[in-house]
């Protein structure tokens, strides 16, 4: 039974990690800080040299979001994403970056929550992060369609989806690796 618990990450509906009170706030803010650094590294990585598609990103900060989905309640994760979008845009971006990051974040969070609530028995963090990456792209393209008033921008979706699958698998592996240290994370 203990082995089973390690193999498939359980997804109880409430209070998954048992972290409450100030410790929850501290852990959430640490996750936000990690996500900010990861998105900064993300913006420095010259992926667009290899794939010249607007908005192409590794999506490293998805590691934090997927981990948070397994640790916390959906409200806490939503709050984390909002804080992260605001802070990242204030520090490294512009109001336009904020709108793109917010739409992508909310779309990917919604998709991941739907998927994990429906299929948590059949899915590991790898599949979950792939879903998150793809819906992040779809959300951003939808926002670009609204801002630019041009649907043709969706021609980039297939390329973004393929990149999303590759980076999503990588992100999922990182989250699986973090799962080993879940007990330490929860106890500290």
d(CA 167, CA 92): 22
134 binds another protein (CB under 8 A): yes
147 binds another protein (CB under 8 A): yes
Least separation in angstroms between CB 37 and another protein: 18
Long-range CB pairs of 81-84 (<8 Å, 24+ gap) are 81/105, 81/106, 81/109, 83/32, 84/32, 84/35, 84/36, 84/39
DSSP notation for 61-121: THHHHHHHHHHS-HHHHHHHHHHHHHHHHHHH--HHHHHHHHHHHHHHHHHHHHHHHHHTT
91 binds another protein (CB under 8 A): no
53 binds another protein (CB under 8 A): yes
Binder of another protein out of 1, 49, 184, 188 (CB under 8 A): 49
113 binds another protein (CB under 8 A): no
68 binds another protein (CB under 8 A): no
Listed in sequence order, the residues at least 6 apart from 10 whose beta carbon sits closer than 8 Å to its beta carbon are 16
126 binds another protein (CB under 8 A): yes
127, exposed or middle or buried, with CB in 10 Å at 0-12, 13-18, 19+? middle
Dihedral sign for Cα atoms in the order 74, 78, 83, 88? positive
Binder of another protein out of 26, 94, 117, 177 (CB under 8 A): 94
If the CB atoms of residues 25 and 119 are measured against another protein, the closer one turns out to be 119
Binder of another protein out of 32, 71, 88, 123 (CB under 8 A): 123
Least separation in angstroms between CB 76 and another protein: 25
Binder of another protein out of 15, 119, 177, 183 (CB under 8 A): 119
Task: List residues binding another protein (CB under 8 A).
Answer: 8, 43, 48-49, 52-56, 94, 96-97, 100, 119, 122-124, 126-127, 130-131, 134, 144, 147-153, 155-159, 161-162, 164-165, 169, 172
């Amino acid at each position: 039974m203990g082995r089973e618990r390690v193999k498939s990450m359980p997804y109880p509906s409430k209070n998954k990690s048992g972290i409450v009170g100030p410790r929850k706030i501290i852990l959430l803010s640490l996750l936000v800080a990690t996500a900010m650094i990861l998105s900064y590294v993300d913006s420095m990585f010259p992926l667009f040299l290899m794939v010249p598609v607007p908005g192409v990103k590794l999506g490293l900060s998805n590691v934090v979001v997927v981990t948070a989905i397994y640790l916390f309640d959906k409200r806490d994760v939503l709050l984390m994403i909002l804080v992260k979008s605001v802070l990242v845009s204030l520090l490294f971006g512009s109001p336009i970056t904020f709108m793109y990051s917010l739409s992508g974040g909310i779309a990917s969070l919604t998709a991941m929550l739907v998927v994990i609530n429906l299929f948590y028995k059949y899915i590991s963090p790898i599949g979950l992060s792939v879903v998150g990456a793809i819906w992040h792209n779809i959300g951003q393209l939808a926002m670009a369609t609204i801002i630019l008033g041009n649907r043709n921008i969706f021609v980039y979706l297939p390329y973004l989806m393929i990149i999303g699958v590759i980076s999503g698998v990588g992100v999922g592996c990182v989250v699986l690796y973090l799962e080993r240290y879940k007990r330490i994370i929860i106890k500290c």
